[in-house]
Structure 1
Amino acid sequence: MQQDHQMLASPQASPLNEFGLDVIVGQLWKHKLKLCFGALLIGAAAFGLSFLLAPQYTARTAFIPPQSSGGTLNAALSALGPLAGLAGSSGPSSVSGETFVSLLKSETIADRLIERFKLKELYKAKFQFETRGILMNRTRITFGKRDGIINLEVDDADPKRAADIANQYVTELKIFSASMNLTDAQRRRAFFEQQMKQTHDRLIAAEQALQTSGFDPGAIRAEPKTAAEEYGRTKAQLTTLEVQLQVMRTRLTDTAPEVRQLASTAAVLREQLQAMELRTNTSQNANYLNKYREYKYQEALYEQLSKQYEAARLDESHDNTAIQIIDIAQVPEWKSKPKRAIIGVVATLVAFLLLSVVTITRHIRTSLTESAAT
């Protein structure tokens, strides 16, 4: 009874508690030759099988993407003269490098490369999206935010084809970027050309109306010539900004910094016009004054739109899509894949780990079976 009581008082040790770290190390040391030999054998086999893998060559190119000139907004603000400071000191945001990285990864450029190099047949893909996926898996594109450089790498079994594909990526980006920029510049140039024609017709009509009204010295005394010219110039600047905002909103949202910048300046000009209109003399000479101010307004507006039109023409003719190539992709002289030595070492380490787990598991299972039998 006392012996049974002692057995109940002391907790029964679980068979798993008998396998401590010293037991595990002992078992590994006991079978060290088998573990090492087996791991080396598997590593050697993996190293040998790696020779069956087709070698891959990596071609690299580096370039600086096109820089946004911001000509449209700068032209709009420069037309305001001293009032340009009302828009704030922040300039237009340039197109980010991530945008050009996205263009390089677009389906449009991928399809052009697939067609040019017959990649669908080369990759033995059935569908176009499969070919795009294989091409993207063999392409790596990174953008350095500090230096603004885009690095592009292409893997291929043919070293010359790898270099050709990498260089063609840059060529297709040039074509794609240039077509997008040219379309935008053409649209702005045509828009301002139409606005100039309409303003020119209104300017002639205002001039004819002013000539028929006659000259009244009392009108000049009621509102000096300089005040009328200032009113017309300010109103023309406001109309120019509103036209410019209309153009910008076709490709930007109202929350864009460029749009908000011009909108804030337009609000200031509206306040100035309201203050000028409050000072307007409503006497018998108002008819002449209103016609004179309308004439000066149309004259100033035509001048402002002419500047915008010339700026749009310059943007259309200016090549601001130039890509500055730092490194042209050269034909690689040595394979980049597979890394046979790394494959052999990794396979050896993984095999050793797996064999160790199998050895310890087998020892635990054997011990548990013997313990259960006794």
Structure 2
Amino acid sequence: MDILLMLAKHKKKIILYPIGFAVAGLLVSLILPNAYKANTKILPPQQSQSTASAMLSQLGGLAGGAGVALGLKSPNDLYIGMLKSRTITDKLIQRFDLQKRYGAKFLESARKQLDGNASIVSGKDNIISIDVEDKDPKIAAAIANAYVEELMALTGKFALTEASQRRIFFEKQLELTKDKMISAEMSLANTMSSKGMLSVDAQSKAVLETVARLRAGISAKEIQLKSMQAFVTQNNNEYKRANQELLGMRQELAKLENGSQPANESDAVKVKDGSVNNMQTLRDVKYYQMLYELLVKQYEVARLDEAKDAPLIQVLDKAVEPEYKVKPQRSLITIAAAFFGLMLSFIIAFVSEALNRSKNSEEQEKWRLLKSYF
């Protein structure tokens, strides 16, 4: 009865406060701008089982960690991290002039606001979902689609797979070998222009070509082993086999070079007088030409593997202009404001009764004494 009497006594507050706060909440919600959310969904790139997978399968316990590092397992986390990277964020800010649109004085403030307006998650179905909120539905859809476009551009620039790393490695080696081959050919041309046509007997030419072929094979095998060291250990069967082939070619080259020495001094004099420089020049040209051919073959293999392992980003649902706003939820704001006003009216009513009761009760004397002491 005391509570009912108290509520009846303060019925005006209990009725007017919720109504007043509800009206205020409705007005505030009307002032707030509408926000629209656009959504796009992409399928995570599926890596094919190429050379990298076969090599990683022989690494035992290390295969799991290496597979994640090379992107051979689910790459969702990697691509979500790329989508949230500062590189893509800054490109979107520049592309849509978001710093001006958000009224951000500093670039970092624009980054934080874009991160707050964008939600990038991977669902249980392993589909990456990108949600973007903005006042303009067209801009929201455009930014959501731009995330995918920038991701495609970024993945095309970076080497994300083992095959890409091998392709880049052999590409650099090809450039170096090509420069050396051109230099050797220019040296041969200069020799021919100054001394005329080079004369080398058939036996020496055969030995020269064989030596050049072996040296080129050894260099190509060394380059191949160096490229394999980036993703396999020395205990890998493929690495061991390539290393054995390298040792065999080195032994064969040593036998050939030791057996091709002049038998006596008179032969050495003839060689020294006529053909040493010619043979060295031809040997360098043949060596770099054959090495370049071998590297081209390995480069083509790496390029084919890269084409199979290329991360193909497929858009499942392209973002379209949203038809309905997501914020502000005016009904929810109005109800919450009314509830807050009701709670506030209850608190004021209880506090008011407590203060009035203390003045009219036997504690009035205690209040008087307390005041006098102070």
TM-score normalized by the length of structure 1? 0.62
Structure 1 contact 141–152 (Cα < 8 Å) conserved: yes
Post-superposition shift, 1:154? Answer: 1.0
Q: Structure 1's 181 and 24: CA in aligned 2 closer, same or farther, altered over 3 A?
A: farther
1:364 aligns with 2:354: yes
| % identical equivalent positions | 32
Post-superposition shift, 1:98? Answer: 1.6
Q: Deviations along 1:254-308, whole A, 9 cap, x unmatched?
A: xxxxx5xx454259949x97xxx9xxxxxxxxx989849xxxxxxxxx9998875
Of stretches 110-119 and 26-35 in structure 1, the one that deviates more from structure 2 is: 26-35
Structure 1 contact 63–325 (Cα < 8 Å) conserved: yes
Q: Deviations along 1:162-216, whole A, 9 cap, x unmatched?
A: 111111111011101111138746423325658999xxxxxx98954999xxxxx
Of stretches 182-191 and 360-369 in structure 1, the one that deviates more from structure 2 is: 182-191
- Name which of 169, 186, 199 aligns with 1:188: 169
Letter of the 2:363 counterpart: A
Tell me which residue corresponds to 1:133: 112
Aligned counterparts of 2:166 and 2:143: Cα–Cα separation in 1: 30
For the residue of structure 2 that corresponds to 1:247, the secondary structure is coil
**Where does the alignment leave 5 or more consecutive residues of structure 1 unmatched?**
1-21, 78-83, 198-203, 212-234, 249-258, 278-286, 293-301
Number of aligned positions between the proteins: 291
Tell me which residue corresponds to 1:103: 82
Structure 1 contact 188–247 (Cα < 8 Å) conserved: no
Letter of the 1:181 counterpart: A
Q: Structure 1's 28 and 318: CA in aligned 2 closer, same or farther, altered over 3 A?
A: same
Of stretches 328-337 and 358-367 in structure 1, the one that deviates more from structure 2 is: 358-367
Aligned counterparts of 1:55 and 1:326: Cα–Cα separation in 2: 27
- Name which of 38, 41, 44 aligns with 1:59: 38
Structure 1 contact 209–291 (Cα < 8 Å) conserved: no
Post-superposition shift, 1:88? Answer: 4.5
Aligned counterparts of 1:325 and 1:195: Cα–Cα separation in 2: 40
Structure 2 contact 120–130 (Cα < 8 Å) conserved: yes
Post-superposition shift, 1:152? Answer: 0.9
For the aligned residue pairs, the C-alpha RMSD in angstroms reads 4.5
For the residue of structure 2 that corresponds to 1:67, the secondary structure is coil
Aligned counterparts of 2:252 and 2:139: Cα–Cα separation in 1: 77
For the residue of structure 1 that corresponds to 2:159, the secondary structure is helix
1:247 aligns with 2:238: no
Tell me which residue corresponds to 2:28: 49
Q: How does 1:169-180 map to 2 (within 5 A)?
A: 169-180=147-158
Aligned counterparts of 1:59 and 1:172: Cα–Cα separation in 2: 17
Aligned counterparts of 2:50 and 2:176: Cα–Cα separation in 1: 19
Structure 2 contact 45–312 (Cα < 8 Å) conserved: yes
TM-score normalized by the length of structure 2? 0.62
**Where does the alignment leave 5 or more consecutive residues of structure 2 unmatched?**
179-206, 257-291, 366-374
Q: Structure 1's 209 and 48: CA in aligned 2 closer, same or farther, altered over 3 A?
A: closer
